[in-house]
């Protein structure tokens, strides 16, 4: 048992105390054993649960899931506090200074911004100065490699477009996408290892990259577009499965196509 006074309502400092107690002597064996890497996936899962709550517009779920993400933030900060490298106070101080620095139009800096577009332009300039990024290539390399791949592709493409390296319009990008699809078809027709030069893995990646580019040029979030496609597929597949008169593996191909077409028509 640890020395802690329970309350009806807790604040920020109480939570830091709880996390330190869980990690300390007499605390929780599981919490004490965790490392940055061991709970890395937990952080990702909790973040996606916040997104799910936001999409549902559920205030109770938002409150709970934001708390879970906050717990992850504090968990990692407490680990670093134990190592003597930084504290949660340093995290709060750092992000506060960053927000002041990147909003000079609000806090008395030299930049002005009358529109949200100008705010974002200033933000990118200040971010590159802050992180010592001397070129667009430096900014691209700084895009987290752990992002979902479609989002990473979109962010890379936005940065190169701002530097003047871009297609004239979305239709031109679509032409390139069609070219990449043809190259993917050639790789499939050749057979061979998916990992050989110009094999299926490389050509599929090129096609997905260009699909994300088309989305970026049309101001369509490629990750959101793919999620919507997954939802649509789910609805149509459910219709096929429910209306088939036998297990799908026993259905002729023409029957499956007919049911799929019916599912599409029922949506329109």
Predicted confidence band of residue 123 (pLDDT cuts 50, 70, 90):
confident
pLDDT tens readout for residues 237-252: 999 999 999 999 999 9
190 and 238 assigned to the same domain: no
**Residue 115 in domain:** no
24 and 90 assigned to the same domain: yes
Indicate the residue among 197, 218, 239 that finishes a domain: 218
DSSP category for residue 250: G
**Residue 122 in domain:** no
23 and 81 assigned to the same domain: yes
Query: What is the number of structural domains in the chain?
Result: 3
Q: What is the pLDDT of residue 121?
A: 85
For residue 29, give both structure tokens.
């064996």
List of residues 6+ apart from 133 with CB closer than 8 A: 127, 139, 142
**Residue 113 in domain:** no
37 and 96 assigned to the same domain: yes
Alpha-carbon distance of 26 to 117, in angstroms, equals 52
**Residue 202 in domain:** yes
| C-alpha 130, offset from chain centre | 23
Alpha-carbon distance of 159 to 179, in angstroms, equals 23
Handedness of CA 16, 17, 23, 24 (dihedral sign): positive
Q: What is the pLDDT of residue 5?
A: 86
Alpha-carbon distance of 200 to 180, in angstroms, equals 11
Alpha-carbon distance of 27 to 18, in angstroms, equals 9
232 and 194 assigned to the same domain: no
Residue 236's domain spans which residues?
A: 227-267
Q: Is the pLDDT of residue 128 over 90?
A: no
Indicate the residue among 101, 129, 163 that finishes a domain: 101
34 and 86 assigned to the same domain: yes
Predicted confidence band of residue 184 (pLDDT cuts 50, 70, 90):
very high
82 and 155 assigned to the same domain: no
28 and 95 assigned to the same domain: yes
pLDDT tens readout for residues 35-81: 999 999 999 999 999 999 999 999 999 999 999 999 999 999 999 99
Mean pLDDT of 113-117: 88
What mean pLDDT, rounded, does the chain reach? 94
Q: Are the C-beta atoms of 216 and 161 separated by less than 8 Å?
A: yes
Backbone torsion region of residue 140, taken as left when φ is above 0, otherwise alpha when ψ lies between -120 and 50, otherwise beta:
alpha
169 and 200 assigned to the same domain: yes
Q: What is the largest CA-CA distance in the chain?
A: 71
158 and 239 assigned to the same domain: no
Q: Are the C-beta atoms of 49 and 65 separated by less than 8 Å?
A: yes
Predicted confidence band of residue 210 (pLDDT cuts 50, 70, 90):
very high
Nearest to 240 by CA among 229, 227, 255: 255
CATH of the domain at 95: 1.10.287.1080
Q: Is the pLDDT of residue 268 over 80?
A: no
Indicate the residue among 218, 241, 259 that finishes a domain: 218
**Residue 107 in domain:** no
**Residue 172 in domain:** yes
- For residue 88, the tally of other CB atoms under 10 A from its CB is 20
Predicted confidence band of residue 108 (pLDDT cuts 50, 70, 90):
confident
**Residue 118 in domain:** no
Alpha-carbon distance of 192 to 7, in angstroms, equals 66
Alpha-carbon distance of 74 to 42, in angstroms, equals 13
**Residue 6 in domain:** no
Q: What is the pLDDT of residue 130?
A: 86
């Amino acid at each position: 048992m640890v020395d802690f006074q329970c309350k009806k309502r807790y604040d920020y400092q109480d939570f830091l105390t709880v996390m330190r107690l869980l990690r300390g002597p007499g605390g929780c064996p599981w919490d004490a054993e965790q490392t940055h890497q061991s709970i890395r996936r937990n952080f990702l899962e909790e973040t996606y649960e916040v997104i799910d709550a936001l999409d549902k517009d559920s205030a109770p779920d938002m409150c709970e899931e934001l708390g879970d993400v906050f717990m992850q933030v504090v968990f990692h900060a407490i680990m670093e506090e134990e190592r003597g490298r930084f504290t949660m106070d340093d995290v709060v101080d750092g992000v506060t200074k960053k927000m002041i620095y990147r909003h000079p139009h609000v806090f008395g800096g030299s930049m002005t911004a009358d529109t949200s577009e100008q705010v974002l332009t200033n933000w990118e300039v200040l971010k590159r100065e802050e992180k010592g990024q001397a070129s667009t290539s430096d900014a691209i390399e700084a895009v987290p490699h752990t992002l979902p791949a479609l989002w990473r592709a979109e962010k890379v493409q936005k940065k190169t477009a701002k530097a003047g390296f871009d297609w004239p319009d979305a239709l031109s990008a679509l032409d390139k996408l069609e070219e990449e699809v043809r190259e993917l078809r050639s790789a499939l027709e050749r057979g061979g290892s998916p990992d050989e030069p110009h094999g299926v893995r490389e050509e599929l990646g090129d096609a997905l990259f260009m699909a994300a580019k088309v989305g970026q040029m049309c101001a369509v979030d490629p990750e959101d577009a793919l999620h919507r496609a997954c939802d649509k597929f789910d609805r149509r597949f459910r219709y096929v499965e429910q209306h088939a008169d036998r297990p799908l593996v026993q259905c002729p191909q023409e029957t499956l196509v007919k049911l799929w077409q019916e599912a599409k028509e029922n949506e329109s």
